[in-house]
Structure 1
């Protein structure tokens, strides 16, 4: 059962917190965050010099910290903050810190359902990942590109396995980097490696790798493709086979290769952000058919609509529909759906959200200082001083809106306009 099935989906507007203005006894209050179900607002507050607390609606948790940063809710509604106590760092869930302590902690990661929380950590100048408060047994002198699998069962990062002295070009060219999965490294090393990616069930890992000064490819489970390219972007696993696809640059243009063989002919000025439909029958990407003009391509066929910036590609659960954000001149954001643009133009827009049945699309937008939630290109329940991303009910008939008016947090459930 998806956790949203247990939420309150009764239509209507409800006041969650009468006032989220800073409390008089606090020196300051940081940005408000709202739980996915809309039932809790939380923020870091400065109680006194060197003393920070966590506010939840109208109360403040008993635990205080020397420092606190990077707050946010997990998908299942836990308020997670990196905190410092006795000059050591850890993560606090709903105000309760993990038992493990680190020299530093950053880059929070959540499993898709939120049950697993991970973060990058440094301890005694060695780097690795901590998963639900348990750090990798093996740590490294350098690490980056941290990732937690969607099911939360595995974690990975690019790590440095050979020490490099100043201007040590020989060791660098021989290869000092590889990928560690759950702390265990691949046997092979590379000149560089970037952004490990898990397969859907986390059985395998792929990453971008650099073999020489001029040759790039994709490595899967440590084995590089036999074909090399001028450059590559993030790989993408096919959901129902062992194949891996990735954007590749060849002859100065970008296309897509699958398992090292050209799948989409290199004809674009750029091609990236690959996503497969759930059944693997469709492959989507953001592409630039002309210089400075981007769009979305589906199975190598670009949409006719273009924009100087296209980002935040999202695919419906059944894989039949796609949406993205377009931008003109850095001031006119708009929603693009199935190759057509919604009417509205906004100062800012956030990643669109499909209903589970794929029939509806919603997006949070801002015009001037006012926020709104657009559903199927129609504004729902007016404007807000602040708003958060909308969520559809499991059956797609209703939308949950979390918004603030005059420092009052409102939780609104409305019917989806058609």
Structure 2
């Protein structure tokens, strides 16, 4: 995390809040959320019928709302929630609502540094995005697949640009969807489009598109690849060139295409979640060499270890190592790291976290009703009634643990086990 340099990394176990139990004057309290640095706990509270507030540690913001939902912390520690006032919706940031109001708001998204917050909005039955409280100038009949670039400079969504009548397959097949970037649509129109993806510096946008009932491809800045496929998944930009790769299905098998040309020969039962190393020299993905058996592949070569479910592919900061979660029969979640499985098995596990130097890996897990933090396949910090994802110190020697025992929020900085 880029903000962790300023956090308190003194080795200690500290009580942040003695009791996060609902306050006596409140009717109820929703789920607790904890800031990335572990210094603040927050929750939506019901103060009275039709009156909601935002609690942070032991105080409640003065502003109250008719309704509030989907609370979350931004990367830089701002507490955000979607709120309703006078039958209009907006986003409240640290208790202060945006001035602009909408018919509805959902799907808040944050830039990497937290300075930009975007959300999907609906106003007068038209849809689009709002950025820091300012909506696109043009809204559309339908919008989905909302995206905010990592640097926060651009937004995108799949939008409907032609009206459809009831039971109107002719117009649908002719194409009704496009991609809007900062509210402005591409010239090309497609039968379907999905999930726009930004290049590293947000100069370009790519998306999956459907051309006919049976033909799919990738469009980059509205320009189609020269090849069509039986299906495609999310595209991925090469960090140091203009190239785009995507999983593609050809001849009933999955592989990877680059700018429309086959890069990984289609030989997998599935292939998705492509990620490049920062220097663009390595391409990782989740693949299924056999039916119902998934693993991780590097440059088209799969690991020897597999599982019926593999998810949450995560690369080390330098892109030289990879970790993912594996699951057998929805009972035994475990970590797959560099082609080997950790020994621990858990009822639930969350996305792995690498240290900045890539030497250490941590993850949050649950066994029964108890939560824990596992670092380098060893438990650290004890058990909790609730826990949040861990974070490493910038030098990789310590790990931050955020957990609750009873109603008490603890902030633990522990040494990384070797």
- TM-score band, normalised by shorter chain: over 0.9
Q: Which residue pairs with 2:233 in the alignment? A: 233
Q: How does 1:336-375 map to 2 (within 5 A)?
A: 336-375=336-375
- Tell me by how many angstroms 1:6 deviates: 0.8
- Tell me by how many angstroms 1:60 deviates: 1.1
Aligned-partner SS, 1:171:
helix
Q: How does 1:19-418 map to 2 (within 5 A)?
A: 19-418=19-418
Q: Which residue pairs with 2:9 in the alignment? A: 9
Q: Distance in 2 between matches of 1:288 and 1:53?
A: 47
**Any idea what the Cα deviations from partners look like across 1:276-318, whole Å, max 9, x if unmatched?**
0011111000000000000000011100000000000000011
Aligned-partner SS, 2:171:
helix
**Any idea what the Cα deviations from partners look like across 1:204-259, whole Å, max 9, x if unmatched?**
00000001111000000001111000000000000000000000000000000000
Q: Distance in 2 between matches of 1:381 and 1:145?
A: 39
Q: Distance in 1 between matches of 2:9 and 2:115?
A: 22
Q: Distance in 2 between matches of 1:236 and 1:120?
A: 23
- Tell me by how many angstroms 1:2 deviates: 2.6
Q: Distance in 1 between matches of 2:57 and 2:331?
A: 34
Structure 2 unaligned runs (5+)? none
Aligned-partner SS, 1:383:
strand
Aligned-partner SS, 2:170:
helix
RMSD: 0.8
- Tell me by how many angstroms 1:53 deviates: 0.7
- Tell me by how many angstroms 1:112 deviates: 1.2
Q: Distance in 1 between matches of 2:312 and 2:323?
A: 8
Q: Distance in 2 between matches of 1:60 and 1:310?
A: 41
**Any idea what the Cα deviations from partners look like across 1:93-146, whole Å, max 9, x if unmatched?**
011100000000000111112111100000111101001111101110100000
Q: Distance in 2 between matches of 1:320 and 1:128?
A: 38
- Tell me by how many angstroms 1:262 deviates: 0.3
TM-score, normalised by the number of residues in structure 1: 0.99
- Tell me by how many angstroms 1:268 deviates: 0.4
Q: Distance in 2 between matches of 1:301 and 1:169?
A: 42
Q: Distance in 2 between matches of 1:279 and 1:241?
A: 10
Q: Distance in 2 between matches of 1:3 and 1:101?
A: 31
Aligned-partner SS, 2:381:
coil
Q: Distance in 2 between matches of 1:196 and 1:111?
A: 16
**Any idea what the Cα deviations from partners look like across 1:141-187, whole Å, max 9, x if unmatched?**
10000000000000000000000001222211111100000000001
- Segments of 4+ in structure 1 off by > 6 A? none
Q: Distance in 1 between matches of 2:408 and 2:103?
A: 38
Q: Distance in 2 between matches of 1:50 and 1:258?
A: 53
Structure 1 unaligned runs (5+)? none
- Tell me by how many angstroms 1:41 deviates: 0.1
Aligned-partner SS, 2:306:
coil
Aligned-partner SS, 1:325:
strand
Q: Distance in 1 between matches of 2:120 and 2:4?
A: 28
Aligned length, in residue pairs: 418
Q: Distance in 1 between matches of 2:355 and 2:330?
A: 28
